[in-house]
Structure 1
Amino acid sequence: MNPEKLAKLQAQGRTGSKGTPRRVIKKVHRAVAQDDRKLQGALEKLALTNMPYVEEVNMFKEEGTILHFRAPKVHSSVTSNTYAVYGRGEEKEMTELVPGILNQLGPDSLASLRRLAQSYQESAAAQAGASPEDDDDEVPALVESFEEATIEETA
């Protein structure tokens, strides 16, 4: 094929032959609504009802992290003790949510909170004990006049 002719065709910006549109328009299909309908159908089969006015859901993990849902959609069946929580969940550390979740903590979570507080106190004590000694060695002695010190260095 002729390179000049090929360069001319590329400069036109067409993807096909003469008469085709210059640009291909990509349509974005939103499958979220369809997935939501499927989820609603599955929840209806389980006889779960919507629980409105749920502001947040926190799920405590064994390693001390928390799965936090802000403004989730919650469906429940109280008779069969079944709950479905869906929405955008974030995995957070316990220290990020401590003031707001104290009333939600159970005995297992309180134990992990105690361990967390103990490790925090130990790290704070280690930093407080190590910093004055280390800082004294690194800071040079102060001189009364900076001009005299520079004169002494040059001499």
Structure 2
Amino acid sequence: MASTLDHEKLVRLQNAQRTGGKGTPRRPTKKVHKSAGTDDKKLQTTLKKLNVQPINAIEEVNMFKSDGNVIHFAAPKVHAAVQSNTFAIYGKGEEKELTELVPGILNQLGPDSLASLRKLAESYQTLQKAEEPQKKEADDDDDEIPSLVEGKDFENKDEVE
């Protein structure tokens, strides 16, 4: 019985390996994994159909989202097809908060972004006001700790008083 199982298993393996007809050698099929490089090539060919032109000397690209965050591309590759109003931006995008980019980004802000910047500043001020009482309470906790005086022992309060 063991030999019949081995024979059946052998037949299954042989059928799985056969790629051609009766006289062809048995070879395992090679699996081709699709990589991101092939996707980029397909995108490039599609963009060539739109007649895109590269735009040089762009240092950064910032895309403002509705939730107040910014998608930031440092040193991207940019292609544009002006006649079809299409722009392609290549590079590693990072999602950042508006506060991380504030000094260098002020000249790029539109009216919507300026409103979100005002809201951000107001929320920062309210956060600072909320933290101030907590700091005062933390300072008040020091009242229970006696100050060090030379020659006195503060381990027992009853002995000191």
Using structure 2 for the length normalisation, give the TM-score: 0.68
TM-superposed CA distance for 1:69, in Å, is: 0.6
Q: Say if 2:94 is the partner of 1:90.
A: yes
Q: Say if 2:100 is the partner of 1:100.
A: no
Correspondent of 1:142 among 139, 146, 150: 146
Structure 1: which 5+ runs fail to align?
1-28
The match for 1:67 is 71
Provide Cα deviations, 1:114-146, integer angstroms capped at 9, x if missing partner: 000000011111212332134213553433426
Which one is further off, 35-44 or 62-71? 35-44
C-alpha distance in structure 1 between counterparts of 2:119 and 2:88, whole Å: 31
The match for 1:40 is 44
Give the ranges of 4+ consecutive aligned residues of structure 1 lying more than 6 Å apart after TM superposition: none
Using structure 1 for the length normalisation, give the TM-score: 0.71
C-alpha distance in structure 2 between counterparts of 1:151 and 1:89, whole Å: 60
C-alpha distance in structure 2 between counterparts of 1:105 and 1:87, whole Å: 22
Structure 2: which 5+ runs fail to align?
1-32
Which SS does the other structure have where 2:83 is aligned?
coil
C-alpha distance in structure 2 between counterparts of 1:84 and 1:151, whole Å: 73
C-alpha distance in structure 2 between counterparts of 1:130 and 1:32, whole Å: 51
TM-superposed CA distance for 1:79, in Å, is: 2.0
C-alpha distance in structure 2 between counterparts of 1:56 and 1:90, whole Å: 12
